[in-house]
Chains A and B, each alone.
Chain A
Amino acid sequence: MRRIVIAAVAVIAGLLVCLSMLLPSPWLGRVSDMLLEGTLILAAFALLLGLLNILRTHTRAVFQGPRRGQSILLIVALLLTLAIGLLFPQSAANAWVFDHVYLPIQASLGALLAFVALQAAYRAFRLRTVDAAILLVSSLIMLFLQIPATAALWPRLGSVRDWMLAVPVAAGVRGLLLGIALGTMATALRILLAVDRPYTGEE
């Protein structure tokens, strides 16, 4: 009975939002707006729930887990950042945490990707197959054409780059987008028809 009620609420809410986009009804629009605003509230509360879940997990790990130091560090950093953000939202300390902790860590992780990509390029550029040859040639051509100074070498190179982006690249991306759209529609239909019920927590 519980599953039926949950599925019915989810299906009705999904259908209302879907219909509000298809039918020009003010009533449906208001209902859809209300549901979407409710989703925003839920999304905000999901952040809070995630925070509490992290706290609970690492508090348990402090008492039971083998890596207590990391959990303690995480909890202290979390609470400290939270306190600074809540108590002094426009302070220099808040900006300092972002500029000197969060930003360098994320930027460093992003920079590491360059080395991984380079190693992957080394593996992919081995000319053992026709596919690898096409990949290598197209990569070099596109990278060469991306350099702004190449237009100074030969002005038509810019038009060549534009043609490659507008025709072959756009064709491939359109295919990807069509696939994504079809997959999204299929998933949405399965959820709307209650074939898939991710909201019940069943795998």
Chain B
Amino acid sequence: MIVCPNCQHHNHKQATHCAQCGQPLADAVHCVCPSCGALNPIDGQFCQRCLTDLTVPVAQAPTVPRPEPTPEPPKVDSGKKESAPQAQKPKTPERPARRKRRDCKDRSAQREIAPLPDPAEGREPKGLEGGLAELGGDPLAGVTDVLPLETAVALPHRGAPPSELRSEHEEQEDAHLFSSLASEPAPLTAAAQQVLPPLRSKLPRWLKLVLSLLLLLAAGVPSLSPGWLPGPLTPSADTSKLLSVLSSLGSDAQILVAFEYGPDHAAELDPVAERILEQLADQGVQIHLLSTEPAGLGLAQRMLHGSDSLQMGLDDEQIQVLGLLPGREIGIRTLMRSVEGAFRLQTVASGPHGTDLTHTPTRISGFDHVILVGDDSRILRAWIEQAPSTLHPLAVVTAQVYPALVPYKASGQLSTLTQGPTAAIELQASTSRQITPLGATDGLAALFVVVLCVAILANVLPTKSNNTR
């Protein structure tokens, strides 16, 4: 992508003229490095090939040094070294971080440069008198084809012929070449590695193995241990409120449940979703399921077909699968305006028990509650932000998304906000169902131990990086 320097319009990479203002892009979007001749974007600060600072004015760059008159340097009186041509010293490219200091140095160097001999005035600095006398006169007398500094700098790059002699075809070829050169990845990668060196080398193999074993141990703790951190569970305020809301529903209540998560977080959210559906089934309420993702809908149907307790507790007409809501945020917006309008565009899948949509409210306000079970903060925020002010969804989310939704809970847009694993075990304990070993507690505790071990290992054990540095 090429940004036009005239109108800032974004053009295609192969474009030779700006699509908006017609400005030619070939000669305007690249600049030539004064040090190595590489082509760089015109707004670049450093050369992609040699890291030369491109923001330094060209007149100060050492691209056109003044030619030496003789191979041997002129002898200068030791006491008058200050007036010697300090500007003749070749400048080495410096690190980008010292750019400001280098600018200051350049300015001071400019002030300290002795005035060059001006033949028109016939005056020369005293410091050069001895050397000039040995050379037998003006050292530039025998040198031809020497351009003044300003003229040489103003000339185009040595590889480019004068613009008036180049045909349009040649210019286009050059533009294409410039574009390919400036966008070549290798110099940029090398330059980036020089500017931002890698912090440290990779972990040693044995340490990776230890960390992986620790993590596997943490993952296996809930199934291996019979509750090695048992304790009385006190449900959080949000879980208690969620449970009280679910318990207070009558058999004529209409509940909309959105499955907004995928298989990668199914292990985290499936248990709590199943507990909620079981609780709703016990209350005898009408349940309507939907998802904005095909995977979420698949998980919902899998839960309905796979859970024995759900199949035993659910009545045939109690649950309806509305189907997939396409369009993500747009689909949610349409749903908030009209449920019928959102789903008449879709082939409505009949529920697992042969029900249809005749009992489904046509407006979102017709539902008593909306329960969001999700792992995608963007979709969940769309649900919350587009919901009517009278509708306060109940959200059960992953631990990863939970902090992102805390402000919505604080502002009252969410009625409850709970995390999946803890809510599952708290609901399980609160409903006095068969309590398995406290898997969630064990899992989180094991993860805490693993992270603690990682922190200790990271700061105690030496690694390759310590040795190399």
Contact = CB atoms under 8 A, between A and B. Distances in A.
Interface residues of A, number: 61
Interface residues on B, range: 35 or more
A174 B407 contact: yes
A110 B263 CA distance: 8
B457 interface: yes
B399 A173 contact: no
Nearest to A172: B403
Closest A-B pairs by Cβ, 7 of them:
A110-B264, A152-B231, A106-B263, A149-B231, A43-B327, A125-B458, A203-B1
Interface string A41-55: 101100100000000
Contacts of A103: 263, 266, 298-299, 302
A50 to B, nearest CB: 12
Interface in A122-155: 122-123, 125-127, 136, 139-140, 143-144, 146-149, 151-153, 155
Contacts, number: 176
Given A44-B345, A115-B212, A149-B231, A36 B455 contact: no
B426 A33 contact: no
A153 B448 CA distance: 16
Nearest to A97: B298
A203 B231 contact: no
Given A39-B330, A44-B345, A143-B448, A136 B10 contact: no
Contacts of A172: 403
Interface string B263-289: 111110000000000000000000000
B345 A40 contact: yes
Interface string B1-43: 1000000001111000001000000000000000000000000
A151 B233 CA distance: 8
B387 interface: no
Contacts of B264: 106-107, 109-111, 113
A27 interface: no
B11 A43 contact: no
Contacts of B219: 114
Given A107-B266, A121-B451, A203 B11 contact: yes
Contacts of A122: 203, 207, 211, 454, 457-458
Interface of B: 1, 10-13, 19, 199-200, 203, 207-208, 211-212, 215, 219, 229-234, 236-237, 262-267, 295, 298-299, 301-302, 305, 326-328, 330-331, 333-334, 337-338, 341-342, 345-346, 349, 352, 399, 403-404, 406-407, 410, 419, 422, 425-426, 438, 440-441, 444-445, 447-448, 450-452, 454-455, 457-459
Nearest to A113: B264
Contacts of A40: 326-327, 330-331, 334, 342, 345
Given A169-B406, A203-B13, 13 more contacts: A37-B341, A40-B327, A105-B263, A118-B211, A118-B454, A119-B203, A146-B444, A147-B448, A148-B233, A148-B438, A170-B410, A173-B407, A202-B10
B203 A149 contact: no
20 contacts: A33-B338, A43-B328, A102-B263, A102-B295, A104-B263, A105-B263, A107-B264, A110-B264, A110-B265, A121-B455, A123-B458, A140-B452, A143-B451, A147-B445, A151-B234, A158-B234, A170-B407, A174-B407, A202-B10, A202-B11
A33 B341 contact: yes
A37 B326 CA distance: 10
A95 B302 contact: yes
A203 B10 contact: yes
Nearest to A3: B19
A166 interface: yes
A136 B455 contact: yes
A176 B231 CA distance: 37
A114 B215 contact: yes
A60 B403 CA distance: 46
